[in-house]
Each structure stands twice: as C-alpha cells, then as structure tokens.
Chain A
C-alpha cells in the first residue's frame, strides 16, 4: 500500500475515533480510556506516515517512481510500428 493510501486510511480512522470519543461522555471511564489510547497510537502513526507520503509524492513528481498506469520497465508498449503489429 502506498504511504498516501495509508495516510488517507489512518486519517479517516482517526476522525472516526475522535467522533466516538466525543460521543462517549456517558460511557464507562475504561472504555473512554481505551478509545483515547487507540487515538494516541493512531496519531503517532499518522505523524510518522505524513513525511513518507510527502516524500512519495515528491518522488512521483520527479518521475523517480512510476505512476499507476505507467508501463512496467521493459514492458512491450505497442507503437503501431512493430513488424508484428498491423500497420
């Protein structure tokens, strides 16, 4: 999975958790603590993923990594000029 996809997924989960924590005021303290612990772990993960996602986008912009849909290195790309291809 790309770092950007990971970031998108983690950010969405973090938003969901924040919403659940906000809604959990009447829940037992242990439950709220558990949600807070999960949010803390996820925040740490998001902090770590963000620079990787940015570096990945920069590498893609420089052309260092293939974009989705680019042909694999060495792959045959029909150009209409090959002898095996109809003109």
Chain B
C-alpha cells in the first residue's frame, strides 16, 4: 500500500474513533474492517493517534468540556467530538506545530460537518492551545 500523508492518517484516525464512539466496537475490529475496505488503517501515525486518544480519552474530554463554553464533550456531535479529540491529543504531544493541528481539524470540520462546526472547533482548540502555552510558561 502506498505512502500515507499525515492528513490522510488524521482522516482515518477520526473515522476509526467516530466508528468506535458510535458503535462501541473494539478498535482492532474496526481497523480490520477498514483494511478489508482498502483503507490505510494500519498506518503507524493513524495508530498512534487512535491509541493516544483511546488511552487519554477521559482527560481529553475533560479538556474539551473546560474549553467549550457551555458544552460538555458528551453533548457535542460525535463527528465534531472526535475531530476535537484528535486535535487536542496532538496539541498535548507537542509533536505538531499548534497552527497545523488546529488548521487540520478546522478543515475536516469544514468538509464534514454543519456550517457552524469549523468556528466552534477553532474556538475550542484555540483556547486549549492558549492554556497549554500558559501552563508551559
């Protein structure tokens, strides 16, 4: 299978996490299913994102709730929630420049979600990034 860009890997990670969120099926089963469908679900970056979000999900959801004025993570639509989870995880690792992590999430929200989602995603992630920077200072 060909080289997978980080953008494609993020896309696949969000899809796997979205499927997991809605169905409750285990990640290995979803990965197997995606591989059968010809998706790049075994890409190492995809796996790192999915595993990272799964391992820290409660912490990530708490951060989302703290930064989403008036919204708790469990009340956010599942697709937006999983776009946010991947981005909050990436912001926490520090492996990706902050604007890249935010832009990638906003672009996914623009393409996949309702009209108001990109602004919401941008607002939540901007606040997470600001608070991360303040905590690190």
Interface of A is mostly: helix
In the complex, residue of chain B having the shortest beta-carbon distance to the beta carbon of A11? B22
Partner of B15, one of A11, A43, A50, A61: A50
Please choose the segment from A25-33, A51-59, A69-77, A79-87 that sits at the chain B interface, where 4 or more of its residues have CB less than 8 A away.
A51-59
Please give the number of chain A residues whose Cβ is less than 8 angstroms from any Cβ of chain B in the complex: 12
For residue B75, give the distance in angstroms from its CB to the closest CB of chain A.
Answer: 14
Confirm or deny: B25 has a beta carbon within 8 angstroms of a beta carbon on chain A.
yes
Confirm or deny: A35 has a beta carbon within 8 angstroms of a beta carbon on chain B.
no
Please give the number of chain B residues whose Cβ is less than 8 angstroms from any Cβ of chain A in the complex: 18
**Cα distance A64–B49 when bound, in Å?**
30
For residue B120, give the distance in angstroms from its CB to the closest CB of chain A.
Answer: 17
For residue A36, give the distance in angstroms from its CB to the closest CB of chain B.
Answer: 12
Partner of A14, one of B15, B18, B22, B112: B22
**Cα distance A58–B78 when bound, in Å?**
18
Q: Please indicate the chain B residues that have their CB under 8 angstroms from the CB of A48 in the complex.
A: 37
Residues of B within 8 A of A (CB): 11, 15, 18-19, 22-25, 30, 33-34, 37, 39, 78, 110-113
